[in-house]
Structure formats: structure tokens, C-alpha cells
Structure 1
Amino acid sequence: MSDTIDAPGLGDRRAVLPTASRSENLRLAFVYFLPNYVKGVFRSRPRIAALVARTDPARRGLELMRRMRRRHGRGPVLVRGTSGPTLLVLDAEDAKQVLAGPVEVYAVDTWEKVSGFAAVQPEALVASHGGQRAARRAFNDAVLDAGCPVHRLADRFLRVVGEEAAALLGPQAMEGLRPDVIRERFERAGRRCFLGEAAADDVEFSRLLDLLLAEANWMGARRWRTGRTRRIRRRLMQRQARYLGDADPHSLVGLFGSAPRGPETAPEGQVAHWFMALGVVHAAALQALSLLASHPVQYERALAETESADRAHGPRTAAGFQAMPYVRACVQDAARLWPPVSSLMRRTTAETRWRDAVAPGGVNVLVPAGFHARDGERIDYAHRFAPEKWLDGTAERDWAVSPFSRGEAQCSGMELGLQLATGFVAEFLRAGELAVAGPRLRPDRPLPHTFDAARLRLGVRSRRPAEGV
């Protein structure tokens, strides 16, 4: 029998929630919480992440959670999390309950986010609750065109991301591009799209933000560095203010004037998180390109779709992007296979019911996105590259598959991020044949649980002419 805790039920009934054993908590700490923490929550620590990848913690964590579900039932299971008692959600229906639930009950401003963003952007949407969150969400939704398939500035943004991708496709691409080189181009595209053309070469802005995100990884533990952190943030905000004061109308900051705002909106406090999310977009695009380079069937379909869209609408256009649903689906499935955020954290503000059990308010809830996306006991495409599952609605209908979260807490910039990533991938497809070295990604074998970007080299060579031409 599993350990249990009493929780007040309805009426005169007593309900129970299963509780992880001491050994399960210990294993969970070492194979799940600790690896995710040490490799960097807000900003990847490349060298440490490479060392962690060798131990394949994602696979070990998935196996442990599968054993816990078999032992305890559907759950959720009460575990010791990084910031106190945490409900570990191991059932797909329970995951939907959390993600589809109101943010007033399943709040997003957990201790990890609040303490981490205190160093970077304390006014960020993801560290807000109540009226503050409502005001900041409305602003973010308006500027980022949340819920719209195509952003109003999509034509310009796709041109920018195409230009930055094309700048990588010279002789160096024949030899193989390193992830950090690709990331630098993505950051430049982000500065042009988010802050305007004047910020294109402002690498100091990106450097300062990197320093803050690196400090955010410590979640306030290094109090002796508070003064230094404040000085860095002040310098970052001063540089950012240049672009907000004389805003480029073809950038996101140029849309601030038409977005709803109030006393608690803090428009300037939302920008840093967009750049942090850009790292997620970069990772998804890199993973999608690596998968396409190693999966000939999917590559040929994506290439044919890109060429057809270019013929009909021209390259780097919003209409062309809309004609490339399969390329977009490749990005989505890459993010499913290796979620940019492996743990979706919430905190409850009231009692929550889980079938016959009731949990008190004030506990954390963890939806392990990586576990649910690779749950081979539940989905038949768990460990293979399956963009078609996004086209036929299978993945979209499955709330437990949530690389960009779901419901009221879904990222406001999800659609925009997918546009940028799709445009970047399409530019590589136009350039020639893709080649990848490093990660072992084979279509005839289950894909690895961990994507080790440190060893990745992404190449593009001239496309071979068809036989007889």
C-alpha cells in the first residue's frame, strides 16, 4: 500500500491523497529536481547542462514517475518539492484540470518564479497574480497578438528572421554551425523585432540580460550579490529606455501606445521576459532542424511545402507562413519531444478536488510536461518525430501535451514564437540539404529523452541535382 495523507472531504467523508515514500522523494530529488536546477532554470549553464545530459536525467525521471503512478494510482502524489509540499500530477486528466483551471486557483506566481524574476524583471507577467496579472496579461496579449494565427507585423518579422538565418548560410554552414553561433543570430533578430532596427547591434543589451538571467538561476540565494544585480538591471533598463522613448513603429515596442494599460501594467517590465522566451524559440527551431536533418521523410515533405509556399506567395511572407502548416508542426513536435520548460509549476489558492480526494489550498502543483509528452503507456507517438499529430489535431486536443502551457497561463507569445521559429527553419530548408552531427536522432529508433545541444553541429550543403538533370 502507498503512504497517504488525510485531507478534508465533502460532507462527513474523509478522503486521502497518496504520498511519496522517503526513497521516492530522494530519487525524485536526484533524477528530476536537482538536474533541472543545476543546468539552469532561467538561463542554461552550457557546460553543466552538457555534463547533466550525459546522465540522461529525463529518461530516469520518466521511469521513476511511471513507477510511482503504478504504485500510487492516478494520484496526484504528494512529494517534497523544491519549495515545499507539492502535488505531482501523473494523470493526463489531472493535468488538464490544472492547465484548464482558473489562474486565480492554480496561480502561476510560484516561489521559484517570483524569487527568480526578482533579479531580472520583478514586474513580469509570470510573477504576477490577481489584478496585476490581469492588467499585464491584457497588455501582453495586445502587443503579442495572442490567439492570432499571424501577428500584424508578421511580414516584417519573417523578413528579419529570414535575413538573420541567411547570414549564417555561408561557407561556415558547410562546416557545421555551433548552437551559440545560431543563438547570437536569433538574439539579433529578437532585438530587431522587439526593440527596433536601432537595437540590431546592441549586443551589450543581450549581454546584460544574460548576466541577470544567470543570477536568476540562483533564485535569490546569493544575497551578497544583490547590489551588483541591481546595478546590472539599472544599466539594462537604461539601454531599453532608448528604444521605448523613440519607438520603432515596426517593432513590438512600437505597439505599446495602442495596448491597454493601467497603473499596474508596467509595460517596460514585460520586455525582458520576451527575450527570455526567445531562447525557447531558438531551442525549438534548433531541435526541429536537427530532426529534419535526420528524418528524410519529414524533410522531403517540409521542403516540398516550403517550395510550394514560396512559389505561391513569395518567401518570408505572412501568406507564405500560413501555407506552411507542416513546417510549423515540425517546430511544435520538436518542442513536445524536448519541452523548453519541463515542469509547469502552479500554487493553489483554495481547496482543490481530485476525484474523491481534496487537497488544501496553499500547496504547489507540478505538471511534468516532459513526462506527459513522452508517456509511452498513453500515447503511441511518444518517442518518435510525429509532426502529423499536430496537423490532425491529436496533439492539440491532448492537454497533457503542453510544450507552451495551456489555458489562461498559455504563453501570450506562443503564436508569434512559432512564426519566428518556422521562418527560421524555412530559410534553412531553402538553402540546401541539412546535415546534423552530435545527437543520435534516428527515425528507426526511439528518440533520446535528452537533447544534448552542446555537441550539436548543424550543417547546410548545396542540394544535389536530381539524376538525369
Structure 2
Amino acid sequence: MSTANGARSGTGGEGGLPVASAGENLRLALVYFLPDHLKGVFRCRPRMARLMARLDPGRRRLEAMRGLRRRHGRGPVVVHGTCGPTLLVLDAEDARQVLSGPVDVYAVDTWEKVNGFAAVQPDALVASHGRQRTARRAFNDAVLDAGCDVHRLAGHFLRVVGEEARRLLGPEAEAGLTADVVRERFERIGRRCFLGEAAADDTEFSRLLGELLAEANWMGARRWRTGRARRTRRTMMQRQSRYLCDADPRSLTGLFRSAPRGPETAPESQLTQWFMALAVVHSAVVQTLALLATHPEHHSRAAAEVADADRRHGPRTVAGFQAMPYVRACIQDAARLWAPVPSLLRRTTAETRWRTAVAPGGMNVLVPAAFHARDDERLDYAHRFAPEKWMDGTAERDWAVSPFSRGEARCSGMELGLLLATGFVAEFLRGGELAVAGVRLTHRKPLPHTFDTTRLRIGYRAHRSPARTVPPPVLESDR
């Protein structure tokens, strides 16, 4: 029996699992694996991102996934991944099995992460396993207040976010802010909140980290650059150590002393991952602003919520943040629509059962989060802006909808990231109007599968008086 026929009968793969044909594997490589690697897994390559947006790989990968599921059933399907045979999870219940499973069985330290982080931070949590991961996870959870809606330093962080966001809302905002301008502001927020006020203007630290992340995109393939990457990392760590030695008590580094640690914790090495996570927060923020600018009803509700929270609790306060569940839901749904991490990767350390089939240990597992979040054969809100699904718990209960992962591998800083993002978006909703150019979004049609930030411009114009508003700014490409 050929591989293709075996796939059809469900008995061609490991433990009876269906196997993708050669043609299906080729299509997956072209529309799924290749675009992400060209765009940059760790650091976006702007030119390639612009090209990928034109090709719209999001739509094509959705079609490819649906085609595999129609042909092979619920799966998972054995495909050729970037580092060998991979279980491609196409069913929502299977996605829950992986994400809710223990990390000692569905391990997170895959080949891609270990090789990518080797250049940036080899001791990072996401590249760890076993005892090392347990120690590093405990440290991350303690410093980031994982599982807590409000971080203990939330009051200071909200003031920092408010200050930095307000600096963007001058006259230049009427002409349109680029995603890069917003990213630079988030890097400054990260330096102030993570390293302390002394690091606020240390753009060299961010430049060095960006250089390392750009090298991480190659996942160790450019071995002749290893020496240079090590020197860059050493220089970055030296700059970082200045802020660790005399830690600002209002920063995350100021919480290091009280967090659990051991010989394998490597606390100074966890910061890099937190700065990387800021890129996810930045993406969610610019996507949310673009959606609110093109969805008048959602914008009105979000702005009204911010105004009410400010009136009752004061602007940029913890109580005010807690009174903004709708703004928070807008950010969560923006991250669902265009997943910041489109693929959740695992590797199995033991046999795993998939209904009547069994897969041996040592298999790679890929949960295509972006596909599950836009699976219109399962979700009636797949291609529309639907923050109400987070408000009523529908999206939260659906483990296949996982923009920040789930279970034991869920991002320790998810709540902190949502706090920073909510504070930033709220600042744009205080007494102003939004406009957007460079992306094709409308509340009247299904939203596109790909979001291109390289051409995005977010316009903002403040109201001239509390009683009188003016029309939103008109960007050149909108005229």
C-alpha cells in the first residue's frame, strides 16, 4: 500500500495515524513552513513581511489545513516538518489534549526553539526541560505574577504606559504613526518596566537584542556568525548587568531577590524572553487600534468604557484598568484574528494516544493556532472582530483558540502583557478619534487572513473640547 493510500485508510503512519502525501507535504512546505521562516520567526524581516502579505499565506494555509482534514479526517496527520516527522493537529479536541497535557510529555524545548535561542539566550525558559524548566518557570511565575489579573507593580506600570503613549499623540499622530514608531515606544516601556528608569534611554540595549533576534531567525544555520553572536550577547548582558546590580524597586528586576531561585534558574537570562514577548504585545496593540478605527460600534463602546472607568476611578489607575474588560477583550480578539505565534510546537517524550491510534515518543507536534482561531467550519465568528466572545467566555473555554498558549506552557506574562496593552490602547481612546491606512479592514466584510504592519499608519486626532468632537484624521491614502 502506498503512502497516499495508507493515509486515506488511516493506517499508513506511526501507530495507525494518517500520513500526508508527497504533494500535500510540498504544499504545506510552500504555504505554511516557508512563509514563516522567510518572514522571520524571532524578528520580522520587513521586506519579506511585505512580500508575504501580498501572497496572503494566511488564506492559503487555512485552505491547506481544511483540505487535509477533509481527506484524512480528524487526524492528527503525520507530515514532514522542519525537523522530521510531525503530528499536525487539525482537531480542536486534539489541540486541547496537547495544550492541557503535561510539559514532561508534550515538551516545549523543540529543535526550533533550542537552536533559535542558542544565539539569543540559551538558558531561556522556552528552551528548557525537566528540572531546569521547573526552576525557571517558578522564577518567571513569581516575578511576573502569573495567574494574577493585576501585577503588584501595576500602578507604576500603568503610569509608565500612559506617559509613553501620550508622547505619541502629538501633531505627528495626525499624519499617521507607523508600526515601527509604536514598537520603539514599547521597547522604551519594556526598558522602564523591566530594567528600571535608568534604562529608559538605553536604545543600544534594544539594538543589540534586535541584532541577536535577527540572527536567531537562521536557527544556527550560519555557523560562521556564531562568534559574532556570542560577542553581541556578551555586550548586551554587560549592559543589562548594570541595571541588575542596583535594581530599581519599581521594576521587574527589583523583584528578583524575593523570587524562588536555584543553581539552574539563571534569572538574568529570563529577561530576554520578556522583551521578546513585548513584540507580541506590540502586535496585538497595533492590530487592536486598526480594528477599532474601522469598527465604529466597537470603538464607541470601548471609548465609553474608558471614559466611565476614568470618571469613577481616575485615569491610569489599577481600579480603572480593572473596569475595562471590553478593551481587554478587544486586544484578546485582535490576537486571535492574527495570532502573534501562529504555530505552537511541542515534542513528545513518551507514547501518546489519539483515539484509536498511538504515536511513539520522540515525535514533533504542531498545533496550528492561527488555523484553529480562524476555522470557519467550527467558529461562527472566525473572520469578524468579536470581543464579545471573550466577554461571555466562549473564546476562553475553547482551548483551540490560544493566542497566548494554554496549560502548563502558557506564557507566564500573559496577564502583564494584557495590562500593558490595555493601558496603551486606553490612552488612544481618551478624548480622540482614530483612523488607519495601509491595511484593508472593514466591519462590513470578513477580515483578511494576513495583517501587514509594514504599510500600516495609525492616525489620531484629539478632541478640541470635551463638548465638541471633530472628524477623525484623514490619512493621505484614504483621500
Whether the TM-score (by the shorter chain) exceeds 0.5 is yes
CA distance in 1, matches of 2:145, 2:401: 23
Partner of 2:126: 126
What SS is found at the alignment partner of 2:51? helix
Distance 1:216 1:467 in 2: 50
How much does 1:406 deviate?
A: 0.1
The 1-side partners of 2:227 and 2:468 are apart by 65
In the TM superposition, residue 97 of structure 1 has moved relative to its aligned partner by 0.1
Which SS does the other structure have where 1:80 is aligned? strand
Query: Could you tell me which residue of structure 2 aligns to residue 157 of structure 1?
Result: 157
In the TM superposition, what is the alpha-carbon distance from 1:340 to its structure 2 partner? 0.4
Please list the CA deviations of residues 183-207 of structure 1 after superposition, one character each: whole Å capped at 9, or x if unmatched.
Answer: 1111001100000000000000000
Letter in 2 for 1:194: F
Instruction: Kindly provide the amino acid, as one letter, of the partner of residue 268 in structure 2.
Output: E
Q: Deviations over 1:184-240 (max 9, x none)?
A: 111001100000000000000000000000000000000000110000000000000
Equivalent in the alignment of 1:212: 212
Once residues 77 and 424 of structure 1 are traced to their aligned partners in structure 2, the CA distance between those partners, rounded to angstroms, is 41
Task: Single out whichever of 58-67 and 457-466 deviates more from structure 2.
Answer: 457-466
Q: Distance in 2 between matches of 1:407 and 1:174?
A: 42
The answer to whether the aligner puts 1:462 opposite 2:462 as a matched pair is yes
Find the aligned partners of 2:99 and 2:87 in 1 and give their Cα distance: 14
Q: What letter matches 2:412 in structure 1? A: S
Alignment of 1:133-212 (within 5 A): 133-212=133-212
Q: Which amino acid aligns with 2:99?
A: L
Equivalents in 1 of 2:286, 2:314: separation in Å? Answer: 24
Q: Distance in 1 between matches of 2:43 and 2:52?
A: 15
Matches within 5 A, 1:363-402: 363-402=363-402
For residues 307 and 193 of structure 2, the distance between their equivalents in structure 1, rounded to whole angstroms, comes to 25
Pairing 1:331-342 to 2, within 5 Å after superposition: 331-342=331-342
Name the amino acid aligned to 1:192: R
Q: How many pairs align?
A: 463
Trace 1:56-455 onto structure 2 (pairs within 5 A): 56-455=56-455
Q: Which runs of 4 or more aligned residues in structure 1 lie more than 4 Å from their structure 2 counterparts after TM superposition?
A: 4-8, 464-469
- Between the aligned partners of 1:195 and 1:50, the Cα distance in structure 2 is 33
TM-superposed deviation, 1:46: 1.1
Structure 1 residues 459 and 6 mapped into 2: Cα distance closer, same or farther (>3 Å)? same
**What is the Cα deviation at residue 47 of structure 1?**
1.3
Counterpart of 1:49 in structure 2 is 49
Deviation at residue 299 of structure 1 after TM alignment: 0.2
Query: What SS class does the counterpart of residue 40 from structure 2 fall into?
Result: coil
Q: CA deviation at 1:30?
A: 0.2
Residues in 1 aligned to 2:124 and 2:74: alpha-carbon distance in whole angstroms: 34
Unaligned runs of 5+ in 1: 9-14
Question: CA separation in 2, counterparts of 1:282 and 1:456?
Answer: 13
1:2/1:71 contact within 8 Å kept: no
Q: How far is 1:135 from its partner?
A: 0.2
1:297 and 1:423 map into 2 onto residues whose CA distance is: 20
What is aligned with 2:21? 21
Q: Which amino acid aligns with 1:98?
A: V
Cα distance, 1:467–1:238 mapped onto 2, change above 3 Å: closer
Aligned partners of 2:231, 2:431: CA distance in 1, in Å? Answer: 43
Distance 1:80 1:314 in 2: 54
Task: Measure the CA separation in 2 of the matches of 1:226 and 1:110.
Answer: 20
Instruction: Flag the 1:172–1:468 CA change in 2: closer, same or farther, 3 A.
Output: closer
What amino acid maps onto 2:455 in structure 1? R
Pair 358,269 (structure 1): closer, same or farther in 2 beyond 3 Å? same
How far off its partner does 1:42 sit? 0.5
Q: Is the 8 A contact 2:6 2:13 kept in 1?
A: no
Whichever residue aligns with residue 441 of structure 2, its letter is L
Secondary structure at the aligned position of 2:90 is classed as coil
Q: SS of the residue aligned with 2:16? A: strand
Structure 2 length as normaliser, TM-score? Answer: 0.95
- The question of whether the paired residues in 2 share the 8 Å contact of 1:169 and 1:431 is answered with no
**Unmatched 5+ stretches in structure 2:** 471-479
CA distance in 2, matches of 1:2, 1:368: 24
SS of residue matched to 1:366: strand
C-alpha spacing 1:7/1:32, structure 2 compared with 1 (3 Å): closer
Q: Is the contact between residue 2 and residue 19 of structure 1 (CA under 8 Å) also seen in structure 2?
A: yes
Q: What TM-score do you get using the length of structure 1 for normalisation? A: 0.97
Question: What's the CA shift for 1:463?
Answer: 3.1
Whole-Å separation in 1 of the counterparts to 2:258 and 2:469? 57
CA distance in structure 2 between the aligned counterparts of 1:260 and 1:454, rounded to whole angstroms: 41
| CA deviation after TM superposition for structure 1 residue 6, in Å | 5.5
**Aligned mates of 2:463, 2:61 — CA distance in 1:** 41
- Measure, in 1, the Cα distance between the counterparts of 2:76 and 2:469: 61
Supply the distance in 2 between the matched residues of 1:27 and 1:312 (Cα, whole angstroms): 55
State the secondary structure of the residue aligned to 1:86.
strand
The one-letter amino acid of 2:230's match is R
The code of the aligned residue for 1:82 comes to T
| Separation of aligned partners in 2, 1:131 and 1:405 | 21
